Amino acid sequence: MRIDAQHSRRSFIRAVSVGTLAVGFDLTSRAWAAQAPQHAGPDFRHAPHLDGRLLVAPADLAPYEDDFGHLVHRTPQAALLPGSVRDIAAMIAFCGPLGIPVAPRGQGHQTFGQAQVEGGLIVDLGPLDTISVDPAAQTATVGAGAVWSAVLTASLAHGLTPPVFTDYIELSVGGTLSAGGVGGASHRHGAQVDNVVELEVVTGTGQVRTCSATRDADLFHAALSGLGQVGVITRAVIRLVAAPTSVRSYSLVYPTVAALTAAQRKAVGDGRFDWLEGTILPAAGGGWMYILEGSAFYDTTPPNDSALIGDLGYVGPPQIQDSAYFDFVDDLAPTVAALKASGEWYDPHPWFNGFLPDAATDTLAEATIAATTPADLGASGLILLYPVPTARFTAPLLSVPKGELAFLFAVLRTAAPDDALPAPELLQANRDLYLSVQAKGGTQYPVGAIPMTPADWRTQYGARWQQFRAAKQCFDPHGILAPGQGIFRRA
């Protein structure tokens, strides 16, 4: 079967999503309810003097009432454009004793209100976007508001690159380090959070602290994949590796989920690819296409095709493409531009993102696909399915299933903007799928739109729940940070 350009991995939006809260979604009646403001009208007139700016005009705050999901809308009272880390510390110290909720915000690309706050303060990390590369140490010191495309550009000037990228690279460093940051190189290098040397964090009491695996380790481990619960990440030191010049990418089609995952298990087992993912797409004539996407990096000599893919048992001719490394990492850019031009980028995105245990992957994925129509996914929707050895994930709060191998599974739907019904129905579908995944020992990757109960969150973190709760109480004693995640409720 030939995969045309329109159906190749790189022409579709894919993303990962991490779960979220039940606020506003009544799980019993399966209906949306208006969310009561968490804080009625804090008075920012007595806010501290700032190096940056505090926005309070409704027109200035409007962008912060939305996110990539376009499902949840909350009105903040103010937004901080920090001129310094000191500004963030001062505003958090001001908000804490008054109980004013504070939402750190990068690019606002989580999909269920996670980076929003009702009646509180948004901390827009955008202005903190400096990047400095140390070629000798092979690290980049990066402001949390910088986007990964800028980190890549700065690193490549020294022949270096971060080892792991998400599929879309216009996300903020602070935003993906708060989630995890999973991509096609994760089978080799773990998530982005596994490649952080040091963080600077402003805690929920306004303290500025530098932490690492050996210094203030409790804070370090609670901030990485910590969904903004213990502090605002303001700076990160990121590990870099040598960047290749070029990439050869293979798209291989399989007839079933089981055939796809069998080939992926083989490839991940022997580590033949530098980058490995998989996509499931509606096929032109009906049914589905199951596509393994593997890539090999090279500088001068391209890889031997038959050695790389000859034993992978695909059907039809493989699609093979060579790209410059930057273009490979940034290959969603043309699709995003097209979706913005068509307006689909701005439609609701009730995304499901999870990790499946290896043993249950085929049955869960098959059942989900059997219950899904192309219309459910929307015109630009797709499903991602790819394996990651769990030993690569070392950050305690990036929850993955037990067992040696897990599969990232993402059902990336776009809902019609002009129909009131689909989004709630699709959110319920996300919840039903989450419960099936949870019953098999799977977890959600909390960037998407899955209504969660308090019991779900405890299950999500399992043995790590008490540790996470203790860190929240220690570093955010007023319980003001990132309430949009809905993990910890204030009394």
Ligand X SMILES: Cc1cc2nc3c(=O)[nH]c(=O)nc-3n(C[C@H](O)[C@H](O)[C@H](O)COP(=O)(O)OP(=O)(O)OC[C@H]3O[C@@H](n4cnc5c(N)ncnc54)[C@H](O)[C@@H]3O)c2cc1C
Does 154 bind ligand X (CB under 6 A)? Our answer is: no
Q: Which is nearer to ligand X, 225 or 372 (CB)?
A: 225
Q: How far apart are CA 219 and CA 199, in angstroms?
A: 9
Q: Which of 456, 482, 486, 487 binds ligand X (CB under 6 A)?
A: 482
Does 172 bind ligand X (CB under 6 A)? Our answer is: yes
Q: How far apart are CA 59 and CA 206, in angstroms?
A: 28
Q: Select the span of 36-44, 161-169, 284-292, 452-460 touching ligand X (CB under 6 A).
A: 161-169
Q: How far apart are CA 407 and CA 257, in angstroms?
A: 12
Q: Select the span of 8-16, 320-328, 375-383, 454-462 touching ligand X (CB under 6 A).
A: 8-16
Q: Which of 21, 72, 115, 329 binds ligand X (CB under 6 A)?
A: 115
Q: Residue 136 Cβ, how far from ligand X at the closest point, in Å? A: 27
Residue whose token pair is 């706050």 = 117
Q: Are 220 and 211 in contact (CB under 8 A)?
A: yes
> Is the Cα dihedral 453, 459, 461, 465 positive or negative?
positive
Q: Which of 8, 11, 110, 319 binds ligand X (CB under 6 A)?
A: 110
Burial 13-43, CB ≥16 within 10 A → b, else e: bbbbbbbbbbbbbeeeeeebeeeeebbeebe
Q: Are 90 and 48 in contact (CB under 8 A)?
A: yes
Does 228 bind ligand X (CB under 6 A)? Our answer is: yes
Q: Which of 42, 101, 180, 204 binds ligand X (CB under 6 A)?
A: 180
Q: How far apart are CA 69 and CA 350, in angstroms?
A: 6
Does 414 bind ligand X (CB under 6 A)? Our answer is: no
Does 443 bind ligand X (CB under 6 A)? Our answer is: no
Q: Which is nearer to ligand X, 139 or 176 (CB)?
A: 176
Q: Which of 233, 253, 260, 280 binds ligand X (CB under 6 A)?
A: 233
Q: Residue 260 Cβ, how far from ligand X at the closest point, in Å? A: 18
Q: Which of 120, 183, 442, 486 binds ligand X (CB under 6 A)?
A: 183
Q: Residue 56 Cβ, how far from ligand X at the closest point, in Å? A: 20
Q: Which of 121, 131, 227, 237 binds ligand X (CB under 6 A)?
A: 227
Q: How far apart are CA 75 and CA 63, in angstroms?
A: 10
Q: Which of 139, 166, 361, 390 binds ligand X (CB under 6 A)?
A: 166
Q: Which of 131, 485, 486, 487 binds ligand X (CB under 6 A)?
A: 485
Does 120 bind ligand X (CB under 6 A)? Our answer is: no
Q: Select the span of 226-234, 251-259, 357-365, 470-478 touching ligand X (CB under 6 A).
A: 226-234
Q: Which of 76, 162, 175, 389 binds ligand X (CB under 6 A)?
A: 175
Residues counted in the chain: 491
- String of contacts with ligand X for each residue 19-58, x by CB under 6 A: ----------------------------------------
Q: Which of 87, 118, 167, 476 binds ligand X (CB under 6 A)?
A: 167
Beta-bridge partner residues of 104: 123
Of 34, 33, 173, 19, the C-alpha closest to 105 is 173
**Non-local CB neighbours of 469 within 8 Å, separated by 6+ positions:** 488
User: What's the Cα-to-Cα distance from 466 to each of 80, 117, 438, 451, 476, rounded to whole Å?
Assistant: 32, 25, 19, 22, 15
Q: Which is nearer to ligand X, 77 or 309 (CB)?
A: 77
Does 399 bind ligand X (CB under 6 A)? Our answer is: no
Calculate the CA 257 to chain-centre distance.
24
Q: Which of 96, 120, 163, 174 binds ligand X (CB under 6 A)?
A: 174
Q: How far apart are CA 181 and CA 148, in angstroms?
A: 11
Longest dimension (CA), the chain: 68
Does 360 bind ligand X (CB under 6 A)? Our answer is: no
Q: Which is nearer to ligand X, 179 or 385 (CB)?
A: 179
Burial 143-157, CB ≥16 within 10 A → b, else e: bbbbbbbbbbebbbe
- String of contacts with ligand X for each residue 65-104, x by CB under 6 A: ---x----------------------------------xx
Q: Are 244 and 155 in contact (CB under 8 A)?
A: no
Does 240 bind ligand X (CB under 6 A)? Our answer is: no
Beta-bridge partner residues of 249: 295, 321
Q: Which of 447, 449, 452, 471 binds ligand X (CB under 6 A)?
A: 447
Q: Which of 24, 42, 101, 106 binds ligand X (CB under 6 A)?
A: 106
Q: How far apart are CA 231 and CA 236, in angstroms?
A: 13
Q: Which is nearer to ligand X, 63 or 244 (CB)?
A: 63
Calculate the CA 207 to chain-centre distance.
27
Does 108 bind ligand X (CB under 6 A)? Our answer is: yes
Q: How far apart are CA 475 and CA 343, in angstroms?
A: 41
Q: Select the span of 11-19, 92-100, 423-431, 470-478 touching ligand X (CB under 6 A).
A: 11-19
User: What's the Cα-to-Cα distance from 89 to each of 182, 192, 195, 320, 376, rounded to whole Å?
Assistant: 29, 25, 26, 50, 44
Residues lying near ligand X in the complex (CB under 6 A) are found at 13, 15-17, 68, 103-110, 114-115, 125, 144, 166-168, 171-172, 174-176, 178-183, 227-228, 232-233, 447, 482, 484-485
